[in-house]
C-alpha cells in the first residue's frame, strides 16, 4: 500500500503509463498468436514474394511476364472466376430465403443438421457420389428417365457443371450457417414494427432486413468466395482439369510439384492472392455504401 | 392473417428448393453407401449382391489404421494448440483497447481471406527448407495458420457476452490473472470454447489443401490419403475407395453432430443479444 502511495507521489510508473494505454499482462496474451501468424503466414508470404522475383531465367519479372503472355496460364484466372463467382452468388441466393424460413421454425435443429451435412462428406466422397449418382447409369438419370422427363441420360460430369455442382454441395452448408447466424441476429421487434406500420413481406425484406444484412452478407460472400476460389480436388476429380476447369490452383500446383519450379509457383500463388484480395476489397468497398450500425436493437 | 397467394407460392418454392437439395444429397450419399457394400453393380437399379468385404479390403490396402492414427494425432494437436493460443488472444482482443489492435485484427483476418493454396505453396517451401516438410510437425504447423485466427474470431463475441464485473470481482478477491482465467473465465466460456474447438476439429479433418502440400508419405491424413487413392486408382477396386470415403464421412459426421449439440448454429457469429440458454 505504501509503495502505491509512493509511486503516486513520484508520478505514474512505466507500468501504469502502459496500462493507461491498454497494455498490461492481459494484453500480452495476444503475442503468441501474433507471433504464430507472423512466422507461419507473413514470413512465408514475403519469402514467396521475393522468390517469385527470382525466376530460372534470372530476370526480375520473368515469371510474371511468362504468366501474362501465356494464354494457357493467364486463362486460368478467368476459368477460376467463372466458377467461383456464380457458385458463391448461387449459394448466397439460396441461403438467404432458406435462412429466413428456418428462422421461423420452432424445431430448426434437425433441418439445420441435414442442410449442414455436406460439410462432413469431403470432396472425395462428393466426387465419388457424383460419379455414381449423376453418371449415365446413376439413379438421377434413371429416375428422370423412368418418370419420362428425359429421353436419354444427361451427363454433367467431367466438365464445368460437374465442378459447379460439387462446389455448390460443399460450399452451401458453410454459406448457410453464416447467413443463418446473421439473419437470426436481427431483432424481431424491428420486423414487427414494420409490419405494424403496414409493410408487406417484400417491403419488410427490402426496407428493413436487407440494409441490416448487407454487412454480414458481404463477409459471408468473401468467406464463401475464398472456399470456391481455391478449388483443387474437385476440379481434378469431377472436372476437366486439362481444359474447362484448369483453375489457377492447378497451375500453381503443377508448377510447384510437377515442374519443381518453386519460383514460378510462388509467382502464381501471389497472382492468385492478389486477384482474391481485389475481389474481397471490392465487395467490402461496396458494403460501405450501405447502412452500418447495430442490427440487434438498442439494448444490444 | 390471411396469406396471399403470392406469399404461399413463395413459401412453397423455398420448401421445394430445400427438398430438391436434400433429395439429391441423400441420393448421392446413398449411391456411395450402396456401392461400398456392393458385390457387382453395373447398369442396374441395385447391385447384384451385398458384402462387407470392401471395408476389410480398404482397411488393409490403404493402411487405414496408420492413416487414422496420423489423422488423430494431427487433428488432436491442432485442436489443443489452437485453443491454447486462440482463447487467451481472443480475451485480450475482446477486453483491452490498445494501440495496435486494428492491425492485429487485420493480421488475424488475412489468413481467412486468402485461399489456403495461395499461402500453402510458400509455406510448404519454407517448411521444406526448415526440414519440417513431409513431417507430422509440419502438417500441424500448417494447419494452425487458419485455425488459430478462426478460434480467436469465434471466441471474441462469446467473451464480450460475459459481464466484465465478474472478472473485476475475482480480481478484488485477490485472484491473479491466471487464477481468474482458470477458475472464472474458462468455466464460463466452456460452451463457446467447445463449440469453437469442435468446429476446428471438423475443419481440420477436412482440410485438404494445406495437408496435401505439406505432408509426406508418413504424414498423410485421411482426406489426402483418400485423394491419392482416387487419383491413382485403377489398381484398386472402386468399392474399397467408397468404403474408405464412408469411413471418412462417419468420422466427421460424429463430431459435427456433437458440435451441433453444443452450439446453436445461430450463435456462431453471435452478438450477445439473447441471454445464454
Chain A neighbors of B58, CB-CB under 8 A: none
Q: Among B117, B82, B86, B121, which Cα is nearest to B104's? A: B86
Between B14 and A57, name the one with better pLDDT. Answer: B14
- Residue in A with minimal Cα distance to B160: A300
Please indicate if any CB of chain A lies within 8 Å of the CB of B109. Answer: no
As a whole number, mean pLDDT of residues B113-141 equals 89
Please give the pLDDT value at position B273: 42
| B positions 141-160 inside 8 Å of A (CB) | 141-142, 144-145, 148-149, 152
- Among chain A residues, CA nearest to B266: A181
Would you call B97 an interface residue with chain A, using a CB distance cutoff of 8 Å? yes
Give the separation between CA B135 and CA B237, rounded to whole angstroms.
29
Tell me what pLDDT residue A299 has.
Answer: 42
pLDDT given at position A290: 67
- CB within 8 Å: A273 and B249: no
Q: What is the pLDDT of residues B33-56, one digit of tens each?
A: 888 887 777 667 777 777 778 788
Question: What are the Cα distances from residue A64, in Å, to A194, A229, B237?
Answer: 54, 20, 43
Among residues A215, A208, A181, A209, the alpha carbon closest in space to that of A290 is found at A215
Determine contact, residues B127/B133, Cβ cutoff 8 Å: yes
pLDDT for res A250: 87
Contact A132 B31 (CB under 8 A): yes
Task: Count the neighbouring beta carbons within 10 Å of the beta carbon of residue B94.
Answer: 17
* Mean pLDDT, rounded, for B155-168: 82
DSSP for chain B, written as a single string? -PPPHHHHHHHHHHHHHHHHHHHHHHHHHHHHHHHHTBS--SSSSS-S-B-SHHHHHHHHHTTHHHHHHHHHHHHHHHHHHHHHHHHHHHHHHHH---TTHHHHHHHHHHHHHS-HHHHHHHHHHHHHHTT-TBSHHHHHHHHHHHHHHHHHHHHHHHHHHS-HHHHHHHHHTT--HHHHIIIIIHHHHHHHHHHHHHHHHHHHHH--HHHHHHB-GGG--HHHHHHHHHHT-SSS-HHHHHHHHHHHHHHHHHHHHHHHHHS-GGGTT--S-SPP-
Candidates B156, B154, B127; CA nearest to B143 is B127
* Residue B271: predicted pLDDT: 43
Which residues in chain B are closer than 8 Å to A101, comparing Cβ atoms?
11, 14-15, 18
* pLDDT recorded at residue A294: 58
Residue with cell 519450379: A261
The residue ranking higher by pLDDT, B154 or A80, is A80
Alpha-carbon Rg of chain A, whole angstroms? Answer: 26
Contact A169 B248 (CB under 8 A): no
> What integer pLDDT is reported at residue A125 of this predicted model?
79
Residue B272, pLDDT > 60, answer no
A170 Cα to chain B: minimum distance (Å) = 11
β-bridge partners, B134: B215
Q: What is the mean pLDDT of residues B9-28?
A: 90
User: In chain B, which residues have their Cβ closer than 8 Å to the Cβ of A42?
Assistant: 107
Interface confidence (ipTM) of the complex: 0.81
Question: Does residue B217 carry a pLDDT above 60?
Answer: yes
**Average pLDDT of chain B, as a whole number:** 82
Say yes or no to pLDDT of B277 above 80. Answer: no
pLDDT tens per residue across all 300 residues of chain A? 455 555 455 667 777 777 777 677 778 888 999 999 999 999 999 999 998 998 877 788 888 988 898 888 888 899 899 999 999 999 999 999 998 888 888 777 788 888 888 877 777 778 888 888 888 778 888 888 888 777 777 777 788 888 898 899 888 988 888 888 788 777 778 888 888 888 887 888 888 888 888 888 888 898 889 888 877 778 888 888 888 788 888 888 888 888 888 889 899 999 998 998 899 888 888 877 665 555 555 443
What pLDDT does residue A271 have?
Answer: 92
**Residue labelled with grid coordinates 421445394:** B16
Q: Which of A138, A142, A232 sits opposite B209 (nearest CB)?
A: A232
Residue B113, CA atoms < 13 Å, CB-side half-sphere: 21
Q: Which of the pair, B241 or A21, is modelled with greater confidence?
A: B241
**Cβ pair B119:A269 closer than 8 A:** yes
Q: Does B273 touch chain A (CB under 8 A)?
A: yes
Coil, helix or strand for A108? coil
B141 has pLDDT over 90: yes
**pLDDT band (50, 70, 90) for residue B81:** very high
**Record: contact A44-B265, CB cut-off 8 A:** no
* The pLDDT value given to residue A123: 74
% of chain B exceeding 90 in pLDDT:
14
Amino acid at each position: 500500500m505504501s509503495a502505491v502511495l509512493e509511486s503516486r507521489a513520484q508520478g505514474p510508473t512505466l507500468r501504469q503509463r502502459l496500462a493507461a494505454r491498454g497494455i498490461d499482462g492481459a494484453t500480452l496474451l495476444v503475442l503468441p498468436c501474433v507471433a504464430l501468424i507472423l512466422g507461419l503466414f507473413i514470413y512465408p508470404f514475403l519469402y514467396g514474394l521475393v522468390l517469385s522475383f527470382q525466376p530460372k531465367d534470372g530476370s526480375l519479372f520473368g515469371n510474371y511476364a511468362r504468366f501474362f503472355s501465356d494464354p494457357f496460364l493467364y486463362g486460368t484466372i478467368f476459368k477460376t472466376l467463372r466458377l467461383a463467382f456464380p457458385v458463391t452468388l448461387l449459394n448466397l441466393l439460396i441461403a438467404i430465403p432458406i435462412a429466413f424460413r428456418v428462422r421461423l421454425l420452432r424445431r430448426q435443429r434437425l433441418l439445420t443438421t441435414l442442410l449442414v451435412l455436406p460439410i462432413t462428406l469431403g470432396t472425395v466422397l462428393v466426387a465419388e457420389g457424383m460419379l455414381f449418382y449423376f453418371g449415365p447409369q446413376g439413379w438421377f438419370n434413371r429416375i428422370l428417365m423412368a418418370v419420362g422427363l428425359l429421353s436419354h441420360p444427361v451427363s454433367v460430369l467431367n466438365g464445368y457443371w460437374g465442378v459447379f455442382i460439387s462446389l455448390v454441395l460443399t460450399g452451401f452448408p458453410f454459406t448457410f450457417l453464416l447467413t443463418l447466424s446473421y439473419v437470426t441476429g436481427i431483432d424481431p421487434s424491428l420486423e414487427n414494427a414494420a409490419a405494424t406500420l403496414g409493410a408487406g413481406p417484400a417491403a419488410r425484406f427490402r426496407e428493413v432486413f436487407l440494409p441490416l444484412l448487407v454487412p454480414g452478407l458481404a463477409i459471408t460472400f468473401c468467406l464463401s468466395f475464398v472456399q470456391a476460389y481455391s478449388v483443387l480436388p474437385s476440379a481434378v476429380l469431377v472436372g476437366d482439369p486439362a481444359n474447362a476447369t484448369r483453375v489457377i490452383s492447378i497451375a500453381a500446383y503443377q508448377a510447384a510439384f510437377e515442374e519443381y519450379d518453386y519460383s514460378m509457383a510462388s509467382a502464381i500463388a501471389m497472382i492468385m492472392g492478389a486477384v482474391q484480395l481485389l475481389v474481397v476489397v471490392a465487395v467490402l468497398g461496396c458494403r460501405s455504401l450501405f447502412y452500418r450500425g447495430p442490427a440487434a436493437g438498442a439494448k444490444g | 392473417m390471411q396469406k396471399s397467394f403470392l406469399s404461399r407460392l413463395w413459401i412453397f418454392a423455398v420448401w421445394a428448393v430445400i427438398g430438391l437439395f436434400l433429395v439429391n444429397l441423400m441420393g448421392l450419399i446413398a449411391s456411395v453407401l450402396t456401392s461400398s457394400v456392393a458385390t457387382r453393380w453395373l447398369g442396374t437399379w441395385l447391385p447384384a449382391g451385398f458384402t462387407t468385404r470392401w471395408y476389410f479390403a480398404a482397411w488393409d490396402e490403404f493402411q487405414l489404421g496408420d492413416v487414422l492414427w496420423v489423422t488423430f494425432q494431427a487433428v488432436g494437436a491442432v485442436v489443443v494448440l489452437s485453443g491454447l493460443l486462440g482463447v487467451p488472444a481472443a480475451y485480450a482482443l475482446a477486453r483491452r483497447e490498445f494501440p495496435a489492435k486494428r492491425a492485429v485484427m487485420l493480421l488475424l483476418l488475412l489468413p481467412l481471406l486468402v485461399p489456403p493454396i495461395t499461402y500453402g505453396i510458400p509455406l510448404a517451401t519454407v517448411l521444406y527448407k526448415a526440414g519440417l516438410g513431409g513431417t507430422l510437425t509440419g502438417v500441424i504447423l500448417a494447419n494452425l495458420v487458419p485455425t488459430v485466427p478462426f478460434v480467436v474470431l469465434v471466441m471474441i463475441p462469446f467473451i464480450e457476452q460475459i459481464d466484465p464485473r465478474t472478472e473485476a470481482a475475482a480480481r478484488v478477491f485477490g485472484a491473479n490473472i491466471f487464477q481468474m482465467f482458470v477458475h472464472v473465465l474458462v468455466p464460463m466460456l466452456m460452451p463457446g470454447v467447445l463449440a469453437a474447438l469442435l468446429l476446428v476439429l471438423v475443419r481440420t479433418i477436412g482440410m485438404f489443401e494445406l495437408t496435401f502440400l505439406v505432408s509426406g508419405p508418413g504424414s498423410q491424413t485421411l482426406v489426402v490419403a483418400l485423394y491419392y487413392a482416387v487419383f491413382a486408382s485403377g489398381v484398386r477396386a472402386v468399392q474399397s475407395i467408397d468404403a474408405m470415403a464412408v469411413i471418412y464421412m462417419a468420422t466427421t459426421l460424429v463430431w459435427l453432430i456433437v458440435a451441433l449439440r453444443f452450439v446453436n448454429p445461430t450463435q456462431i457469429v453471435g452478438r450477445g443479444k439473447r441471454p445464454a440458454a
